[in-house]
């Protein structure tokens, strides 16, 4: 049996999405900036995508900008907002558990003369509103807090943060990285007082290499790419029409059954969490139930290195992660920033596995995975002790 439980890294593309994209690449392959019929057809797919994405957010289509994915969306939001508002201030606030696309961008902005405050989180990976309030300064121009943590599934108090900023600091922009949250929750930026929101297609069973950034109409940001002036001069470059249309198709399909799918995911996550805790020396990181994301479960196994367990599971056809797929490209970091931020004991930092589920995950796969863990973990622990 093959069990793909690394859906926070990427998801399997829906068959309907792949077929839709192939049709566009073969038949409606025009450049949307061209004035002839092929161009008009291509532009029609962009309008369709804007309408679908905007509807899912209860936003205006003019507020949707297409990018190459979550990383570019985060960069455009953070750098674009910082550059556009530098005369008003140069202080930015984020958290210690953000995705590298945010953390690395913040570090870059620090090199450009901006000051960044990195908020701590509690033992469950949640930001405290009191810490944010204390960090605010007269020269603060931007707050960026992720919706759903990609490693332990913690949910941030986005509604509370948005309400606080709208009430006390209405000129401060609020960016939310919703790459892991979009498609799992119904997220409405205006209702949450969110000014910018990033998302990525390949986390919702769409294609890789495409995403979007929601930018509220009142928000002014500067482009970070220059060229043909596409997308209201904010994101130049010929649009990836098949990818953008595929992302919209995936969002449309996911949206139809979102509530039922999320309920089923929570049930599968509970089954997995309860199952792994039948083993001794196991720690589930983050909050249980609906206080965390429905698709992410972080588990630390005492006495077993995560890479060893990962490959042992792989031999059984079970695919998991030892942490964020993107963070693995930064080998100089001393373990997961998220796990360190929640105060996980040092021996467990290198003994943590992330299981992440999708709409394709079945009860049979969870049972198969649990049985494999019951057999492998005790053996690997004995091997580790002998060494």
Read off the pLDDT of each residue in 225-240 and give the average, rounded to a whole number: 94
Q: Contacts for 123-126 with beta carbons within 8 Å, 24 or more apart?
A: 123/342, 123/343, 124/154, 124/286, 124/287, 124/291, 124/342, 125/97, 125/149, 125/152, 125/154, 125/285, 125/286, 125/338, 125/341, 125/342, 126/154, 126/155, 126/156, 126/157, 126/287
Read off the pLDDT of each residue in 225-238 and give the average, rounded to a whole number: 94
Task: List the one residue out of 141, 79, 72 whose CA is nearest residue 107.
Answer: 79
Q: For residue 228, what are its two tokens?
A: 């043909």
Output the average pLDDT for the chain.
95
Q: Do 73 and 214 meet the contact criterion of CB atoms below 8 Å apart?
A: no
Q: For residue 382, what are its two tokens?
A: 């004995």
Give me the active site residues, please.
326
In the chain, CATH 3.40.640.10 sits at: 15-256
- Residue 314 burial (CB < 10 Å; 0-12/13-18/19+)? exposed
In the chain, CATH 3.90.1150.10 sits at: 3-11+257-386
For the stretch 286-336, pLDDT in tens is 998 899 999 999 999 999 999 999 999 999 999 999 965 455 554 434 468
pLDDT in the model for residue 289: 87
Second CATH level (architecture) for the domain 3-11+257-386: Alpha-Beta Complex (3.90)
Residue with tokens 């609906």: 290
pLDDT in the model for residue 331: 43
Distance CA 323, CA 55 (A): 33
CATH number of 15-256: 3.40.640.10
100-111 and 70-84 helices cross at what angle (nearest 10)? 30
For the stretch 178-190, pLDDT in tens is 999 999 999 999 9
Task: List the one residue out of 212, 244, 242 whose CA is nearest residue 20.
Answer: 242
Q: For residue 96, what are its two tokens?
A: 């210690």
pLDDT in the model for residue 21: 98
pLDDT band at 82 (very low <50, low <70, confident <90, very high): very high
pLDDT in the model for residue 324: 52
Read off the pLDDT of each residue in 329-357 and give the average, rounded to a whole number: 83
């Amino acid at each position: 049996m093959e069990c793909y439980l690394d859906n926070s890294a990427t998801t399997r593309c829906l068959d309907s999405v792949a077929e839709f994209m192939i049709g566009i690449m073969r038949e409606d392959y025009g450049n949307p900036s061209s004035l002839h019929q092929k161009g008009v057809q291509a532009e029609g797919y962009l309008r369709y995508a804007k309408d679908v994405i905007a509807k899912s957010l209860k936003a205006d289509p003019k507020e949707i900008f297409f990018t190459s994915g979550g990383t570019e969306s985060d960069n455009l939001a953070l750098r674009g907002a910082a550059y556009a508002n530098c005369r008003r201030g140069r202080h930015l606030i984020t958290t210690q558990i953000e995705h590298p696309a945010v953390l690395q961008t913040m570090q870059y902005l620090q090199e450009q003369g901006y000051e960044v405050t990195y908020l701590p989180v509690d033992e469950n990976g949640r930001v405290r509103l009191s810490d944010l309030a204390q960090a605010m300064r007269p020269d603060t121009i931007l707050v960026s807090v992720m919706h759903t943590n990609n490693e332990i599934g913690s949910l941030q108090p986005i509604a509370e943060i948005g309400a606080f900023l709208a009430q006390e600091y209405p000129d401060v922009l609020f960016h939310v990285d919703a790459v892991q949250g979009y498609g799992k929750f119904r997220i409405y930026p205006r209702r949450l007082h969110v000014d910018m929101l990033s998302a990525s297609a390949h986390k919702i069973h769409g294609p890789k290499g495409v995403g979007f950034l929601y930018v509220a109409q009142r928000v002014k940001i500067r482009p970070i790419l220059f060229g043909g002036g596409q997308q209201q001069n904010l994101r130049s470059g010929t649009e990836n029409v098949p990818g953008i249309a595929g992302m919209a198709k995936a969002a449309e399909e996911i949206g139809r059954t979102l509530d039922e799918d999320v309920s089923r995911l929570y049930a599968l996550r509970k089954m997995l969490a309860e199952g792994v805790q039948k083993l001794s020396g196991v720690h589930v990181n983050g909050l249980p139930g609906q206080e965390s994301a429905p698709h992410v479960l972080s588990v630390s196994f005492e006495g077993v290195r995560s890479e060893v367990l990962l490959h042992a599971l792989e031999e059984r056809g079970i695919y998991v992660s030892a942490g964020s797929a993107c963070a693995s490209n930064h080998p100089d970091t001393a373990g997961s920033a998220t796990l360190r931020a929640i105060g996980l004991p040092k021996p467990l930092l290198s003994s943590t596995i992330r299981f992440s589920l999708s709409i394709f995950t079945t009860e049979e796969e969870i049972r198969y995975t649990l049985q494999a863990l019951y057999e492998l973990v005790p053996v690997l622990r004995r091997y580790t002790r002998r060494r």
